[in-house]
């Protein structure tokens, strides 16, 4: 039995298979997942697990070079934006796009993780980097 790292077997498999520039989305309860995209539903109940908890585990285990956030988070959920900015490793760029564009980008993701988060615009697309 695995004792460290990502314990969710579906998410661990996705993380293990990522290549440079591959995309993964971590989303809130309401983010739609396009047909044909791998959905990993880890929501237990409203608020659990939180978006931030899942993002932290992901960042602890995957090299990220770029992230995409809905520009609406700036006014609709600034506390969440601040938490995200504090967590991102130095040098990781943030691209702000419309929420509609973010939903369209999920079509290019290897997987979408559904959390229990229920605050507005708590969605992020993470682009994989490379280890050095």
Give the model confidence (pLDDT) of 49-67 as tens digits. 999 999 999 999 999 999 9
Q: What per-residue confidence (pLDDT) applies to 116? A: 98
Residue 99 labeled ligand binder: yes
CATH 3.90.1150.10 fits 9-128, yes or no: no
Q: What per-residue confidence (pLDDT) applies to 26? A: 98
Residues of the chain with pLDDT under 50: none
Instruction: Fill in the DSSP letter of residue 59.
Output: H
Q: What per-residue confidence (pLDDT) applies to 66? A: 98
How many CB atoms within 10 Å of residue 2?
Answer: 8
Q: What per-residue confidence (pLDDT) applies to 113? A: 98
Q: What per-residue confidence (pLDDT) applies to 3? A: 85
Residue 121 labeled ligand binder: yes
Report the alpha-carbon angle 99-103-105, nearest 5: 115
Instruction: Fill in the DSSP letter of residue 27.
Output: E
Sheet holding 111-114, edge to edge: 38-41, 111-114, 23-27, 124-128, 64-70, 93-97
Catalytic (active site) residue 20: yes
Catalytic residue from among 7, 16, 20, 44: 20
Domain boundaries defined on the chain:
9-128
Please tell me whether the overall predicted TM-score, pTM, comes out greater than 0.85 for this model: yes
63 φ, ψ (degrees, to nearest 5): -75, 125
Q: What per-residue confidence (pLDDT) applies to 132? A: 75
Q: What per-residue confidence (pLDDT) applies to 97? A: 98
Residue 38 labeled ligand binder: no
> What is the separation, in whole angstroms, between the first and last Cα of the chain?
28
């Amino acid at each position: 039995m695995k004792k460290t790292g990502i314990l969710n077997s579906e998410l661990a498999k996705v993380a293990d298979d990522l290549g440079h520039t591959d995309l993964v989305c971590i989303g809130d309860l309401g983010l739609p997942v396009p047909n044909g995209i791998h959905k990993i539903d880890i929501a237990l109940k409203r608020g659990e697990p939180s978006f931030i908890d899942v993002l932290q585990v992901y960042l602890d285990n995957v090299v990220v070079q770029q992230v995409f956030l809905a520009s609406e988070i700036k006014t609709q959920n600034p506390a969440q934006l601040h938490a995200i900015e504090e967590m991102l490793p130095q040098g990781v760029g943030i691209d702000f796009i419309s929420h509609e564009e973010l939903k369209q980008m999920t079509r290019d993701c290897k997987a979408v993780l559904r959390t229990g988060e229920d605050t507005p615009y708590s969605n992020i697309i993470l682009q994989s980097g490379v280890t050095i």
